[in-house]
């Protein structure tokens, strides 16, 4: 959603007080996605505009300020892993957006401390804040900002995988805590997203969110692979060593091999500070990482101590936020591409323009709804900017410069690769090609089909899939089960390696064919809106893939969590002639199309529904579902008022909050077993 649309919707027909309350709600929603979920919905610039309006209303009406206002919150409550108390608050910085505000800050500092006041102007890295604690020179703990005041998350094991994190200082002192920004270079970010695309996984929105998600996940091997980086920008606390200035702290850190912020300028006057801000702004396109502003702070530490902090910001520093650079250019064409997931994406092709130091000529248009919101047509003069200084986006259309004979652009109804009729996706805004034999989606369809949540064919990696599809051995997913007939040819050409490797994979394929239940076969077909949980619910309801194929739309709508769009997609999928042929072939090859009747051990849970969240101790989620079903209960994928219990383990997420809001009882695995034994 574009910022202007959000802002106008907040104000239309509202009183100012209603607008204020809605702003609090919206900004808290966006902040939770940004800090806790690492899934931003709007850009920093759009968030800042809304936040500035909130501040304006609170300044005019201080009695309106509510306890959960973003103006009195620093970060976001830490929710994952082991929580650690902050020794020193990890505060935010006060954002400013104009030259006048910068000069006002500098002059206020000079008024307080005289002409000798020194300022440092540094790059503000767009990443995730982290503090490192050293005892006798040895790294003991790494912690995220969390709520900024009370506690953050222990990320020590992941921090140790970052090459820039020094594990042992050369000049040890009894204790020192330093704070920095974890980030990703653009090259590392592109590498991670390219790999995710190849494997059919979700890509990250920008380097900041990729870095945040990487630092806070549990597998240290992933952290090591993704190539995170770190800049240190502050000494938080020391014992056994003192510094008079910020720069003295930097010198100590540099002697100890610690990488501190680059491009740091020492200034005396407001003019010098503003010049430094502009220098940093001019180099944004040349840096190998993203920045979202420039930090201006006092160099003298005693002056900082005298000024202290507000509840949210230090009084001795500000962050100047650069406005996004916007250029006008002409839309030449719209290319429509079918991605590996089947999603069809329109891409704007325009006359090249320079943005943030690089030439750009293309930008995604997302979907037809987005195109309609812009009112876009070929030949339009458009305004282009870079979101997060890296991703080109179209901001608006200059309607007064439209060419003669202008027409609004409409996406094609058919796949540009195979010509198959496109189907609207579950979300209602995207279109997908669901042709199981579409060459544009073949690699990803096979990757999904053999994955752990579907057929779970051990050893069938992406590289093998590329070779087999590239050489024409696999033209659709059914061909996988015909590979055994081409064993000699595969060995002779070395497609899968030597005979041992080939036989191993062929055996795994045969085993998966016999052992994989119908719901996982169904999940592997790549039907829009039908993932692991929905596939299980469909098989549980209808009994077989054949019965789902014969179901009418109104019957599909009776299945939990299936709405109009999903029902339409499932119905169309099974009534496509090409898909029918492929499904018949899969059945003939011996895949399981009907559910196995599990022996019910008891009826203690009869009539009860259970949603599972978090990690259960000593039992996998699938084992817990089997336990529930074998005792007459029914596992469901989401929490609603009709849910009997939420079965919760460690690291529970949003389902816990929803259960508490709805008053759904929350139980542990032991309590579930107790229900069964007492039934």
Q: Are 276 and 121 in contact (CB under 8 A)?
A: yes
Phi, psi of 613 (to 5 degrees): -140, 150
Beta bridge partner(s), residue 81? none
Residue 674: C-alpha distances to residues 9, 643, 669, 677 (Å): 50, 19, 9, 5
- Residues across the chain: 679
Beta bridge partner(s), residue 331? 350
Whether domain 326-401 has CATH 3.40.190.10: no
| Cα dihedral sign, 195-198-202-208 | positive
The count of C-alpha atoms lying within 13 angstroms of the C-alpha of 313, restricted to the half-sphere facing its C-beta, is 13
d(C-alpha 296, C-alpha 294), whole Å: 7
Give the DSSP per-residue string, 107-131: HHHHHHH-TT--EEEEEEE-SEEEE
d(C-alpha 463, C-alpha 450), whole Å: 13
> Considering only CA atoms, which of 167, 179, 180 is closest in space to residue 137?
167
Alpha helices by DSSP H, 308-390: 368-374
> Considering only CA atoms, which of 311, 263, 20, 258 is closest in space to residue 149?
311
Sole residue written with tokens 């061909």:
479
On whether the pTM is more than 0.75, the answer is: no
CA 507 to chain centre: 37
Q: How are beta strands 326-338 and 343-355 bridged, if at all?
A: antiparallel
> Considering only CA atoms, which of 510, 512, 535 is closest in space to residue 635?
535
Q: Are 396 and 383 in contact (CB under 8 A)?
A: yes
Residue 282, pLDDT score: 86
Q: How many CB atoms lie within 10 A of CB 27?
A: 21
Phi, psi of 365 (to 5 degrees): -110, 5
> Residue 645: which H helix or E strand, with range?
strand 645-648
CA triplet 574, 576, 577: central angle to 5 degrees?
115
d(C-alpha 551, C-alpha 547), whole Å: 6
> Considering only CA atoms, which of 479, 487, 478, 477 is closest in space to residue 507?
487
Q: Is 124 designated active site? A: yes
Phi, psi of 357 (to 5 degrees): 90, 0
Q: Are 398 and 382 in contact (CB under 8 A)?
A: yes
Give the DSSP per-residue string, 262-330: SS-EEESSHHHHHHHHHHHHHTGGGSSS-EEEEEEEESBHHHHHHH-B-SSSBTTEEEEPPPPPEEEEE
Question: 25, 80, 124, 170: which is the annotated catalytic residue?
Answer: 124
Q: How are beta strands 151-153 and 138-144 bridged, if at all?
A: unpaired
Beta bridge partner(s), residue 364? 347
Q: Are 639 and 653 in contact (CB under 8 A)?
A: no
| Cα dihedral sign, 80-84-85-87 | negative
Buried b / exposed e over 265-284, threshold 16 CB at 10 Å, is bebeebeebbebbeebbeeb
d(C-alpha 362, C-alpha 368), whole Å: 17
d(C-alpha 261, C-alpha 216), whole Å: 23
Buried b / exposed e over 149-159, threshold 16 CB at 10 Å, is bebbbbbbebb
Q: Domain extents for the chain? A: 3-72, 83-320, 326-401, 423-588, 609-678
Residue stretches of the chain with pLDDT short of 70: 1-14, 31-46, 72-81, 197-201, 340-341, 356-358, 387-390, 425-428, 597-602, 679
d(C-alpha 489, C-alpha 647), whole Å: 51
Question: Which of left, alpha, beta for 432 (phi over 0: left; psi -120 to 50: alpha)?
Answer: beta
Sole residue written with tokens 């596939």:
535
Topology adopted by domain 609-678? Rossmann fold (3.40.50)
For 543, residues 6+ apart whose C-beta sits below 8 A from its C-beta are 594, 595
CATH architecture entry for 83-320 = 2-Layer Sandwich (3.30)
Give the DSSP per-residue string, 228-269: -EEEEEEEEEEES---SBHHHHHHHHHHTT--BPSS-EEESS
d(C-alpha 627, C-alpha 554), whole Å: 31
> And the tokens for 285?
């396109």
> And the tokens for 561?
């969590």
Q: How are beta strands 634-636 and 609-613 bridged, if at all?
A: parallel
250-259, long-range: CB < 8 A, 24+ apart = 252/171, 253/178, 255/170, 255/171, 256/166, 256/169, 256/170, 256/171, 257/166, 257/169, 257/170, 258/166, 258/169, 258/178, 258/232, 259/164, 259/230, 259/231, 259/232
| Cα dihedral sign, 284-287-292-297 | negative
CATH architecture entry for 3-72 = Orthogonal Bundle (1.10)
CATH architecture entry for 423-588 = Orthogonal Bundle (1.10)
């Amino acid at each position: 959603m574009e910022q202007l649309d959000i802002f106008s919707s907040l104000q239309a027909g509202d009183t100012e007080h209603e607008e204020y309350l809605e702003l609090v709600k919206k900004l808290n929603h966006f902040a939770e996605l940004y800090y806790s979920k690492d899934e931003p919905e709007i850009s920093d610039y759009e968030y800042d505009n809304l936040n500035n309006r909130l501040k304006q209303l609170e300044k005019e009406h201080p009695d309106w300020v509510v306890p959960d206002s973003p103006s009195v919150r620093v970060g976001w409550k830490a929710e994952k892993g082991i929580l650690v108390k902050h020794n020193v608050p990890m505060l935010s910085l006060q954002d400013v957006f104009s030259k006048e505000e910068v000069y006002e800050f500098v002059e206020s500092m000079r008024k307080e401390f005289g002409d000798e006041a020194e300022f440092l102007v540094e790059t503000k890295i767009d990443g995730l804040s982290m503090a490192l604690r050293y005892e006798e020179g040895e790294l003991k703990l790494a912690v995220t900002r969390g709520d900024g005041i009370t506690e953050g998350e222990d990320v020590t094991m992941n921090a140790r995988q970052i090459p820039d994190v020094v594990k042992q200082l050369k000049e040890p002192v009894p204790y020192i805590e330093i704070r920095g920004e974890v980030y990703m270079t653009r090259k590392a970010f592109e590498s991670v997203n390219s790999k995710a695309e190849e494997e059919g996984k979700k890509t990250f929105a920008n380097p900041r969110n990729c870095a945040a998600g990487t630092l806070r996940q549990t597998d240290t091997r992933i952290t090591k692979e993704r190539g995170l980086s770190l800049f240190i920008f502050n000494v938080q606390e020391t014992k056994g060593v003192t510094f008079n200035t910020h720069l003295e702290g930097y010198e100590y850190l540099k002697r100890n091999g610690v990488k501190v912020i680059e491009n740091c300028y020492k200034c005396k006057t407001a003019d010098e500070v503003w010049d430094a801000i502009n220098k940093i702004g001019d180099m944004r396109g040349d840096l190998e990482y993203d920045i979202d502003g420039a930090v201006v702070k006092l160099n003298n530490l005693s002056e900082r101590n005298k000024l202290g902090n507000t509840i949210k910001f230090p009084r001795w520093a500000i962050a100047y936020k650069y406005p996004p650079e916007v250029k006008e250019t002409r839309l030449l064409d719209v290319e429509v591409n079918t991605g590996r997931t089947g999603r069809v994406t329109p891409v704007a092709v325009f006359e090249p323009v320079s943005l943030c130091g690089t030439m750009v000529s293309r930008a995604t248009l997302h979907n037809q709804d987005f195109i309609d919101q812009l009112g876009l047509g070929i030949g339009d003069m458009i305004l282009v900017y870079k979101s997060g200084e890296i991703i080109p986006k179209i901001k608006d259309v200059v309607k007064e410069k439209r060419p003669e004979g202008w027409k609004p652009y409409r996406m094609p109804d058919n796949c540009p690769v195979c010509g198959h009729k496109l189907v609207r996706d579950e979300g209602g805004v995207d279109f997908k090609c669901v042709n199981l034999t579409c060459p544009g989606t073949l690699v990803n369809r096979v990757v999904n089909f053999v994955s752990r949540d579907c057929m779970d064919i051990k050893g069938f990696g992406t590289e093998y899939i590329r070779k087999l599809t590239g050489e024409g051995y696999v033209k659709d997913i059914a061909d996988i089960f015909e590979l055994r007939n081409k064993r000699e040819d595969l060995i002779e050409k070395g497609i899968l390696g030597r005979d041992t490797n080939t036989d191993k994979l062929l055996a795994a394929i045969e085993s998966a064919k016999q052992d994989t239940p119908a719901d996982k076969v169904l999940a592997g077909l790549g039907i829009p809106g039908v993932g692991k949980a929905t596939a299980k619910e469909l098989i549980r309801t209808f009994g077989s893939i054949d019965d789902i194929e014969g179901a009418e739309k109104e019957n599909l709508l009776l299945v939990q969590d299936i709405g109009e769009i999903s029902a339409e997609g499932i119905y169309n999928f099974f009534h496509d002639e090409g898909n029918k042929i492929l499904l018949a072939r899969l059945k003939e090859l011996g895949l399981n199309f009907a559910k196995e009747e599990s022996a019910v051990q008891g009826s203690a849970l009869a009539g009860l529904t259970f949603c599972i969240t978090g990690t259960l101790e000593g039992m996998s989620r699938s084992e817990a579902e089997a336990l529930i079903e074998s005792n007459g209960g029914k596992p469901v994928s989401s929490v609603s008022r009709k849910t009997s219990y939420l079965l919760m383990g460690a690291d529970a997420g949003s389902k816990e909050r929803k259960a508490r809001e709805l008053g759904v009882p929350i139980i542990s695995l032991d309590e579930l077993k107790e229900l069964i034994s007492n039934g």
